Amino acid sequence: MSAAENQVTYGKCNNPHGHGHNYMLEVTVSGPVDHSTGMICNLVDLDQVVEREVLFRYNLENLNTLQEFAVTVPTTENLCIQIFEILQRGFPHAHLDKVRLEETMMNSFEYTGGQELQY
Amino acid sequence: MVYLTRKAEFAASHYYHNPAFSPEENQRIFGKCNNPNGHGHNYTLEVTVKGEVDPRSGFVVDLKQLKEVMNREVLDAMDHRFLNKEVPEFLTQIPTTENIAIAVWQRLEPKLRNASLHRVRVYETPNLFVDFYGKDS
């Protein structure tokens, strides 16, 4: 896009010095309850994967400098899709239903891997 | 497909009354909400739209435009209004949270560009909300 088009499309978000958000991430998984543990999956395992694969990579980072955002814009839409794909690869112990990402208290984004949102 | 939800808050007053009911029936069915002087709520509106991410902009929909549409079509009409007397839909319908959600859907759905409306959620209080997914769902 031209400089003018960037300004029209992104407004204040086009400031080249960047700006920060306190993102809030929700990960929804589903699966049958294991009879011996009473759990769908071990939450400690899920926490570790989210910590290692998502938070370590993105927390307090300038998203524009990361390889996955070298050619795509780090909108919350695209970040949501990235996180879904990372967790789908990294957490095989339950079905990943949804990644929900709050950018601010007033807006949020949900990605279900292309499935219709059920709830 | 990505789903995007934008929140807004508005304050409005209403009361519940059906002229087809007797005063006793209105009182029995609607209770305290039947007081003709009305009562207020701080409503929270959540509008969810869905669409494919535009590869150029990275957006499903321009959030600023969505906010403007919500302001123009819903908040300008309902915020700080007595719904029964000032909002056309509620001259003939009771302004329950159910009917508010439907009215919001009908106001927004024809005005959205580049994305389709998925859900309208209206919180009347933090403990009570209504979801509307359109008449075919």
Percent share of chain A, pLDDT over 70: 99
DSSP H helices in B39-96 = 63-70, 76-78, 83-86
Beta-bridged to residue B132, according to DSSP, are: B120
Establish if B137 belongs to a structural domain.
no
| Residues of B annotated as part of the active site | 33, 80, 124
What backbone torsions phi and psi does residue B79 show, to the nearest 5 degrees?
Answer: -70, 130
Does the pLDDT value for residue A119 go beyond 70? no
Q: What is the pTM of this model?
A: 0.91
Residue B94 lies in a domain: yes
Give residue A118's pLDDT band: very low, low, confident or very high (50, 70, 90). confident
Q: Tens of pLDDT along B18-35?
A: 999 999 999 999 999 999
pLDDT band at A16 (very low <50, low <70, confident <90, very high): very high
* Tokens, residue A18: 């960047």
> Where are chain A's structural domains?
20-111
Interface contact B5-A114, CB threshold 8 A: no
Over range A7-28, report the average pLDDT.
95
Cβ separation of B2 and A81 shorter than 8 Å? yes
* Of A100 and B137, the one with more pLDDT: A100
pLDDT bin (cut points 50, 70, 90) of residue B135 is confident
Instruction: For residue B91, tell me if it sits in a domain.
Output: yes
> Higher model confidence: residue A118 or residue B16?
B16
* Chain A contact residues (CB < 8 Å to B): 1, 9-11, 72-75, 77-78, 80-81, 105-112, 114, 117
Residues A87 and A81: their CA atoms lie apart, in Å, by 10
B44-60 as b/e: b if 16+ CB within 10 A: bbbbbbbbebbeebbbb
**Are A107 and B8 in contact (CB < 8 Å)?**
no
pLDDT, tens digit, for every residue of B82-131?
999 999 999 999 999 999 999 999 999 999 988 899 999 999 999 999 99
CATH of domain A20-111: 3.30.479.10
Q: Shortest CB distance from A75 goes to which of B6, B58, B118?
A: B58
Report the domain count for chain B: 1
Cβ neighbours of A71 (radius 10 Å) = 7
The range of the structural domain enclosing residue B36 comes to 2-132
**Is B77 a member of any domain?**
yes
